[in-house]
Copies of this chain bind each other. A is one copy, B any other.
Amino acid sequence: MIRLVETAFDPGALLSEFTRGRSETGAVATFTGIARAEAGATTVLELEAYPGFTEAEIGKIAEQARERFGLHDLAILHRVGKIGPGEPIVFVATAAGHRRAAFEACDFLMDYLKSRAPFWKKEHGPGGARWVEPTAQDHADRERWT
C-alpha cells in the first residue's frame, strides 16, 4: 500500500490493519514522522506532491526494498498539503520473517523518502515561508545503502 493523503491520519489505525492476520510474519517495524513545532519556529509545514508520479517513484523504491530485504509486505502513507505541529507526516511499516530485515527495510525506506522522494516542502513560520531542501545528514543517511 502506497498512499498520499490530504487529511490527518492515525498511525496506530494503520498498524492495527497492517499486523492483522499474519501468521508467518515474525516482525513488523514501523516509523512515524511527526511535524515538530521547533518551539514555535515552524507553525505549518506544506508538502506538495505530483499525484501519480510521486506514488510511482515511491513504488519503485518500495519494490527495491521488498527484494533487497525479502519483505513479506510494506505500507507507506504520506501526508500532503498543510500539516500542523504534532501531526504525523509519514508512516512506513515493513513486515518480514525476522526483525533485522524489518528494521533495515524501514530505515532504508525512510532514508529514501526523506532525501529523494518527489515532494516539495515549505515551512511556514513567524518570519515567513521558505522552501526546504534535504539536509546534508539526509543525503549521508541515504548514501549508507549504496
Q: Which residues of A contact B (CB under 8 A)?
A: 10-19, 21-39, 85-86, 88, 97, 99-100, 102-103, 106-107, 110, 114, 141
The reply to whether B39 and A24 contact each other, CB–CB distance below 8 Å, is: yes
A34 x B28 contact (CB < 8 A) = yes
A99 nearest CB across to chain B (Å): 6
Give the chain B neighbours of A32 by CB distance below 8 A: 15, 19, 27-30
Counting every copy of the chain, the complex holds 2
Give Cα distance in the complex from A19 to B86, angstroms: 9
The chain B residue with its CB closest to the CB of A37 is B23
Bound: A30/B29 CA distance, A: 6
Q: Tell me whether A27 and B31 are in contact (CB under 8 A).
A: yes
* A28-B31, A29-B31, A103-B107 known; A16 vs B13 contact (CB < 8 Å): yes
Q: Do the beta carbons of B22 and A86 come within 8 Å of each other?
A: yes
B12, B33, B39: which contacts A26 (Cβ < 8 A)?
B33
Do B11 and A36 touch (CB < 8 A)?
no
